[in-house]
Amino acid sequence: MALNLRENEKLKLKAKIHWLSYTFQILFGVLFTLYGLTTLASKDSHLLLSLIIGLLPLLYKMLVNYCKEYSLTNQRLYIEDGILAKTKREIPVQKINDFEINQGIIQRIFGAGNVHVLTGNDKPTILRNIKNPDDFKNNMSEITGVISQKAINPV
C-alpha cells in the first residue's frame, strides 16, 4: 500500500487502528480454544482443529486492518480499504467542513473511536476504530484548517 504523493504534497498524518477492533475475534478464539481444551480428555481431541477455527477470524481481521490505510496530506484525505478488491477514496482538504467523533463506552475506556469526516452534502466518511481519536481529530483540524463548529458554539 503505497500512497502516491503528488507534486508539492507531503504526508502529515497517518491513523493507527486501535487493538480494540480485534475484541470479537479474540473472544471467538478463546471460546474455541476452551472448547478444544475440554475435548482434550476425550479420545477424539479436536484441540488443533478448534485452535485453527478459533484463530482464523483473528488472522482475517489482522489482514483487513493491515490493508486499511487512513492518511492525511496537505492536499487530501486518502482512504484505502480492501484485501483483494481495493476501494480507494480521496477527499480534497478544501472540501472537508467538519469532524465528529463517535465513541461507545468501551471505546472511551480504552481510547478508541470513530472519526466522521463531514464534506458538504455527502454522507460522512467514517474512519473506524482510530487510536486516540481526539488527538487525531485535533491534528486533522490543525492541518486542514477546519475548526469544528461544536467547539466554537458549545451547546
Can you spell out the DSSP letters for 48-61? HHHHHHHHHHHHHH
pLDDT by residue, tens only, the chain of 155 residues:
567 888 888 998 899 999 999 999 999 888 887 877 777 766 666 777 777 888 899 999 999 999 999 999 988 999 999 999 999 999 998 888 899 999 999 999 999 999 999 988 778 999 999 999 999 898 888 888 876 555 433 43
Question: Residue 101's closest CA among 75, 73, 131, 70?
Answer: 131
Confidence at residue 154, expressed as pLDDT on a 0 to 100 scale: 41
Question: Which positions ≥6 away from 95 have C-beta within 8 Å?
Answer: 119, 120
DSSP state of 117: E
Which residue shows C-alpha cell 477527499? Answer: 91
Confidence at residue 153, expressed as pLDDT on a 0 to 100 scale: 37
Helix axes of 47-66 and 23-38: crossing angle, nearest 10 degrees: 170
Confidence at residue 113, expressed as pLDDT on a 0 to 100 scale: 95
94 vs 87: CA distance, rounded Å: 22
Confidence at residue 14, expressed as pLDDT on a 0 to 100 scale: 92
Confidence at residue 49, expressed as pLDDT on a 0 to 100 scale: 77
